[in-house]
Amino acid sequence: MTAFFTAILFFSSIKAGEWTSLLNSNRIYDIAPSDEGAWCATNGGVHFFSLEDSSFTLSFRNTDGLPHNTSRAIAITQTGELWAGTDLGLALIVPSSGAARRYQGISDTVFSLALSGDTLAVVTKTGIYIIRTMNTPGSFEDDDVFFFTPENSQEYSIRKAAWFMGDLWMATSIGLLRYYLNGDSTQWYAISKGLPSSDVADVCIEESMVALCSKGFARYDADSGFFKTVYAFQDPLPQFTSIAEAGDTFYVSTLGISGTYKSLFRYVESLDTLDTIGFWINASAGTAPHWMRTISCVRTDASGRVWAGASGEFAGDGLVVWDVKKNRVKVVDNPGLNSNYIFHALLDDNQNLWTAHWFAYNERGVTRYHDGHWENFIYRAYTENDTVDFDASTKITAVDSKGRVVFGGWWGGRGVTRFDPVAGAWEEHSWGASPVSNRVSWLAVDPLDRIWVSIFYSNQLRVLSDDLEEIAVLDWPYDYVWDLKFDSSTLWAATSAGLISYKPQDFVSDLEHGEFSERLLTNSKVTGIALDGRGGCWGATNEGVFHWTQNSTTRYNQNNLSMMENDIVDVDRDPWGRLYFLMKHKGLLVHDPAGAAYDTSAGLWQIFTTSNSSIMPGFDYTTLSADRTGRVAIGTAGGGVSLFTMPKYTDTTSEKISVYPNPCYASLGLPVRFTPLDDAQSVVIYTLAGERVAEIPSSGFRTIQGVKQAELGVQNLSAGLYIAVVRFAARSERVKFVILK
């Protein structure tokens, strides 16, 4: 029997704790040097590197007001504020306040910013905004804004913009575009105007303007209106990314050139000499020492320092600070995740967050986060294991009753590895030397600390004892395994075929003989499951959520739960019975079947999205983990991890708050009164069915003889039992009352 349930929805019941965004911030898109250091626009927010502290000392992320954590462009105002262009629009950072303000009306990806006095040019995917801030950047209301789209702009990409000679110059994939601000007209510069080639990657402005192209860089001559080549590249292979000038020396960054990872050109014009420079990374972010792989941007400051930022897809090598005069180089990484691409997240019982990653150059890795401290492990598929004696190419993690963390390998041919955080010891079990035999698609730990392992496309489940010895091999007649859970005697599996259970004849001593049951076969794969504690099972699919019991199956989807997205990628359950469903695009859906964690006696649904919370914006959600303390971790496909804490459940039936008259006769016309309400924020009234009847905010309280109270008119209410929830800053209390006619 399948049931379809129409839910009563409440949108303001849950009060989550503070949100934290955990990120890799070592892929640097832009750098803005200052006297004290440099601001960096990164894949993990905007950060300030202090020369005095020789470290990153300020950070701004979505939890601080940024629209998105990928920031591709920054510009410092004359009064010390910072404009930040992100993948979801523009923001103004005020460092002294520790907050960022979103600029309304711009929500596209911002690729470049150009600031001249009080005029800001914002290059987005759809066009260019020109904002005149009237020398009051912190006051958006008086800004003069206009928008224009260059002709045929869909045929090329704008890579960088800069102000020069009062006009806006834009480096594009087909030439250099000049926009005459006063005349509202444009002019193109390409090979016919002296550029070495038509594809322009960057421009730098010092005393003159220099344009960087794929075949060299050239200086603009205002008298002739033409460019003159400064240097023509001989090597056609490098992909040049940016250019900076200091005196008669030019620095050009690349995404890889001929030679051994030397990714920076230096050209001295007065000597007509060119050399290539590489930067050695000494164990940055937990990796083995290596050359900085690619550089996305290079800048110089007034003291002649060179600042270079690493490139990468979901990670990078950090920031280079090169004091050329003293010939001192410092490479700094910002502590954080190995990568922002999260395959799997696990909150263990020792307050650790473990994340399994993927990032560029065939590398995978694991990050361990505990109370602000980071430990990173990296595995390189085709070279060597960099940092630890285990397979950090893992995609899967699990934890046993002793707090030991179990990893399933992917590339390294090492099968299963287990880490004991207390002893600091590593153990492993592998099935031969072949990586194919040790590629784990999923694993889980049962109540006896045995490890059940699904080998990728092997049609088998293998079981390891607490001593990591193989004790059982089960033929697996079903498709790919996406999740495994256990009750006291049964294995439950989320598979591409549906919900499957396996009950051994003896769960302690005979695992290889037992019965498979096809509990629910679906047209779509089941990506995650959570046992309900009463013999049933909740499941996540790309067609919504199901709750299977012995008697029926109830389904929830967009048809009967409007806030839901059908594509559910993961599910978890906390000790208080709350269920967490991770939607691929919209965010987190929370269901409390008993109402215990909220403030009524009825089951409730609640949604967390970017519009009502600080959940990570702009990326698909991939993985979910809830622990025994109320912490919830949400992983993304490129955006890192959102971490927050749900309130613990305590019995909130109040013995301090009185309700009178109780029962209350509606026919008498008297209100119900609640008192005392000192320090209370509101009183919310519900029926037993969970229907929200009324809310009395603190502004509606009355003070009688020095005691605050609230009154509820009952003339229009039906007879029955009601629940009043009195909310305080850190708790809620409940009282029951009866209305009679």
The answer to whether the beta carbons of residues 654 and 728 sit under 8 Å apart is no
Question: Which range is least confidently modeled, 346-350, 574-578, 635-639?
Answer: 574-578
**pTM for the structure as a whole:** 0.84
In angstroms, the CA 591 to CA 574 distance is 11
**Torsion sign across C-alpha atoms 485, 589, 642, 730:** negative
The reply to whether omega before 663 is within 30° of 0 (cis) is: yes
pLDDT at 598 over 60: no
Query: Other CB atoms closer than 10 Å to residue 222's CB: what's the count?
Result: 10
CATH number at residue 698: 2.60.40.1930
149 is a domain residue: no
Residue 398 sits in the same domain as residue 468: yes
Whole-number Å distance between alpha carbons of 464 and 406: 12
**Cα-based distances in Å from 181 to 129, 146, 165, 171, 206:** 12, 11, 10, 16, 20
Mean pLDDT, rounded, for 717-731: 83
How far apart are the C-alpha atoms of 173 and 160, rounded to whole Å? 10
Question: How confident is the model over 619-641, as a mean pLDDT?
Answer: 95
Per-residue pLDDT for 1 more than 70?
Answer: no
The per-residue pLDDT for 350 is 85
pLDDT (0 to 100) of residue 651: 46
Share of the chain above pLDDT 90, in %: 64
- Tokens for 36, please give them: 């004290």
pLDDT band at 690 (very low <50, low <70, confident <90, very high): low
pLDDT digits (tens, 9 = 90+) for 38-83: 999 999 999 999 999 999 999 999 999 999 999 999 999 999 999 9
Q: Is the dihedral of CA 600, 605, 611, 615 positive or negative?
A: positive
> What separation in angstroms does the CA of 62 have from each of 22, 88, 105, 606, 610?
11, 11, 18, 21, 10
Q: Is 112 helix (H, G, I), strand (E, B) or coil?
A: strand
Has residue 175 been placed in a domain?
no
Q: pLDDT confidence of 256, banded at 50, 70, 90?
A: low
Phi and psi dihedrals of 15, rounded to 5?
A: -120, 95
Q: What is the pLDDT of residues 466-513, one digit of tens each?
A: 999 999 999 998 889 999 999 989 999 999 999 999 999 999 999 999
Contact yes or no for 590/582 (Cβ under 8 A): no
Calpha distance 635→643 (Å, rounded)? 9
pLDDT for residue 386 = 45
Collapsing DSSP to helix, strand or coil, 722 comes out as strand
Q: Examine residue 653 and state whether it is found in any structural domain, yes or no.
A: no
Q: Quote the mean pLDDT of the chain.
A: 88
Q: Is the residue at 221 inside a domain?
A: no
Does 433 lie in the same domain as 358? yes
pLDDT digits 0-9 by tens, 203-226: 999 989 999 999 999 999 999 999
Co-location of 263 and 328 in the same domain: yes
| Residues across the chain | 741
Other Cβ atoms closer than 10 A to 183:
9
Q: Are residues 630 and 733 in the same domain?
A: no
Q: What is the mean pLDDT of residues 631-640?
A: 96
C-alpha distances out from residue 205 to 16, 82, 592, 667, Å? 48, 19, 59, 81
One domain, residues 700 and 676: yes
Provide mean pLDDT across the span 305-328.
Answer: 90
The answer as to whether 561 is a domain residue is: yes
Does some domain include residue 125? no
Co-location of 365 and 446 in the same domain: yes
For the ranges 61-75, 222-236, 335-349, 721-735, the one whose mean pLDDT is highest: 61-75
pLDDT digits (tens, 9 = 90+) for 702-716: 998 889 999 999 988
% of residues, the chain, pLDDT over 70: 90
Whole-number pLDDT of residue 2: 42
Least confident of 34-38, 129-133, 582-586, 591-595: 591-595
Measured distance CA(431)–CA(415) in Å, rounded: 7
> What is the DSSP code string of 124-162?
ESS-EEEEE-TT-TT-GGG-EEEEE--TTGGGS-EEEEE
* Domain region containing 611: 557-642
Q: Which residues are within 8 A (CB) of 462 and not within 5 positions of it... i.e. 6 or more apart?
A: 431, 452, 453, 455, 470, 472, 473, 474
**Residue 6 is which amino acid?**
T
CA atoms of 650 and 666, how far apart (whole Å): 32
Q: What value, to the nearest 5°, has the Cα angle with vertex 258 and ends 72 and 288?
A: 70
- Whether residue 307 contacts residue 586, with contact meaning beta carbons closer than 8 Å, is answered with no
CATH assignment at residue 246: 2.40.10
In 148-300, where does DSSP find H-type helix? none
642, 674, 709 - which closes a domain: 642
User: Are residue 568 and residue 580 in the same domain, yes or no?
Assistant: yes
Residue 248 and residue 272 in one domain: yes
| Final residue belonging to a domain, choices 301, 332, 363 | 332
Residues 509, 511, 515, CA angle at the centre, nearest 5°?
130
Q: What is the mean pLDDT of residues 579-594?
A: 89
215: left (phi over 0), alpha (psi -120 to 50) or beta: alpha
Q: Is residue 13 scored above 50 in pLDDT?
A: no
Q: What is the count of structural domains for the chain?
A: 4
Are 622 and 706 found together in one domain?
no
Instruction: Look at residues 308, 332, 356 and tell me which one is the last residue of a structural domain.
Output: 332
Q: What is the pLDDT of residues 512-568, one digit of tens each?
A: 999 999 999 888 899 999 998 878 999 999 999 999 999 899 999 999 888 899 999
Residues 311 and 360: their CA atoms lie apart, in Å, by 10
Cα(66)–Cα(21) distance, rounded to whole angstroms?
Answer: 12
Greater model confidence, 258 or 361: 361
Question: Could you tell me if residue 253 is inside a domain?
Answer: yes
Q: Domain check: are 318 and 389 in the same one?
A: no
- What pLDDT was estimated at residue 9? 35
Q: Are residue 415 and residue 325 in the same domain, yes or no? A: no
Mean pLDDT score, 657-664: 90
- AA identity, residue 144: D
**Confidence tier at 378 by pLDDT (50, 70, 90):** confident
CA distance 456 to 682: 54
Instruction: Answer yes or no: are the C-beta atoms of 319 and 42 closer than 8 Å.
Output: no
Is 599's pLDDT higher than 70? no
Indicate if 610 and 688 belong to the same structural domain. no
Q: Is 82 exposed, middle or buried (0-12, 13-18, 19+ CB in 10 A)?
A: buried
Q: Which residues on adjacent β-strands are paired with residue 464?
A: 451, 470
Please indicate, yes or no, if residue 189 is contained in any of the structural domains.
Answer: no
* Residue 324 pLDDT > 90: yes
pLDDT of residue 116: 96
Confidence (pLDDT) at 712? 94
